[in-house]
Amino acid sequence: MNELQTILADSVNGLLAERVTRDLIQKAEDGAWPQALWNELEANGLTRVLAPEAQGGAGGTWADAAIVLKAAGRHVAPLPLAEAVLAHWLLAEAGIAAPDGVLTVMEGDLTLKNGKMSGIAPRVPWGRNAAHGVAQVGTEVVLAPLAGATIAQDINVAREPRDAVTLKNVTVQSASVSLPKNALRLYGALIRACQMAGALDYLAEQTVAYANERTQFGKPIGKFQAIQQQLAVLATQAAAAGIAADHACASLNKGDAAFEIAVAKIRADDASSIATSIAHQVHGAIGFTYEHGLHFATRRLWSWRAEFGAGAEWAESLGRATISRGADALWPYVTAR
């Protein structure tokens, strides 16, 4: 990281470490909206880290955004920070001015005709709290007000809002962009990969710390070779997921990064399955209790695996692309990344 990124990392991690307490997370999981925290994130420009300075943003790169997204995952921030970062970036790419208020992103069966949008987006993060939703219809980025939308509230395993939003002839703003037709899903997978890398880092640190505190037969359980081996596997999985996410963000700064993003989401999904299993085995029963913070991260990792395409979906996509290019192109393509 350069000096500015170090300052950004210290700032966002310091803010979230102080504000995202266990009490705040529990209240959010019970349905409370953390307005004060959202106001602080907006005041510090964290929701607009990718937006150009001319549009009130920080003018950051995806490498800068990765720092914010990882921090959001590490501290399990109970609001749509990652979704807002992506929404602001899509609006900036489309040349649409971002409105004030909470922004989220919407995937679903949506149609756009004569400046009006209709359809259903079934799993919208914090749809009930958002003033606007950003969607992609074909090559168009669409900004839709949600004030008149029908919203059926739902949650994921982590008790984060995932609401069904129904729009009927809602007047929207839209503009064409030079992005892939699956841009929302593709870059959505990237923000989740970054969040999961942050949560995996937290998981590794907490598990190592617990293994050094918990004693059995007169010494910390982390001194036993069997536990050490499991901790090494956990740390390796967390590191691999973080490197894959960072590489995808760095590649996106240079241009097309569809391959790297797919790899990052696959890697994060695989790491989550292995790492959460090890973390709960080392913690024993205490990790499952609501009073312990471990489950906040593990339930989000389990939920985020399925969002914006599970690892299996992205693996199939890579496989089909590899077949279409032909066997002779495989080695040059892989080594050129």
- The pLDDT tens digits for 39-77 are 999 999 999 999 999 888 888 999 999 999 999 999 999
Higher pLDDT: 161 or 288? It is 161
- The pLDDT tens digits for 210-241 are 999 999 899 999 999 999 999 999 999 999 99
For the beta sheet containing 132-137, the strands, ordered from the edge strand earlier in sequence to the opposite edge, are: 103-106, 132-137, 140-145, 173-176
Token pair in block for residue 253: 């700064």
pLDDT at 3: 86
Residue 20 pLDDT greater than 80, yes or no:
yes
- The pLDDT tens digits for 22-44 are 999 999 999 999 999 999 999 99
Could you write out the three-class secondary structure of 92-126? HHHCCCCCCCCEEEECCEEEEECCEEEEEEEEEEC
Q: At what angle do helices 258-283 and 225-254 cross, to 10 degrees?
A: 160
CB atoms within 10 A of CB 310: 16
pLDDT at 92: 95
Residue 198 pLDDT greater than 90, yes or no:
yes
Token pair in block for residue 68: 């914010």
Mean pLDDT for the chain overall: 94
Question: If we measure between CA atoms, which residue out of 189, 120, 128, 188 comes closest to residue 154?
Answer: 128
Could you write out the three-class secondary structure of the chain? CCHHHHHHHHHHHHHHHHHCCHHHHHHHHCCCCCHHHHHHHHHCCCCCCCCCHHHCCCCCCHHHHHHHHHHHHHCCCCCCHHHHHHHHHHHHHHCCCCCCCCEEEECCEEEEECCEEEEEEEEEECCCCCCEEEEEECCEEEEEECCCCEEECCECCCCCEEEEEEEEEEECEEEECCCCCCHHHHHHHHHHHHHHHHHHHHHHHHHHHHHHHCEECCEEHHHCHHHHHHHHHHHHHHHHHHHHHHHHHHHHHHCCCHHHHHHHHHHHHHHHHHHHHHHHHHHHHHHHCCCCCHHHHHHHHHHHCCCCCCHHHHHHHHHHHHHHHCHHHHHHHHHCC
pLDDT at 9: 95
- The pLDDT tens digits for 247-297 are 999 999 888 899 999 999 999 999 999 999 999 999 987 777 877 889 999
Share of the chain above pLDDT 70, in %: 100
Question: If we measure between CA atoms, which residue out of 170, 165, 124 comes closest to residue 144?
Answer: 170
Number of alpha carbons in the 13 Å side-chain half-sphere of residue 112: 18
pLDDT at 4: 86
Number of alpha carbons in the 13 Å side-chain half-sphere of residue 169: 0
pLDDT at 35: 97
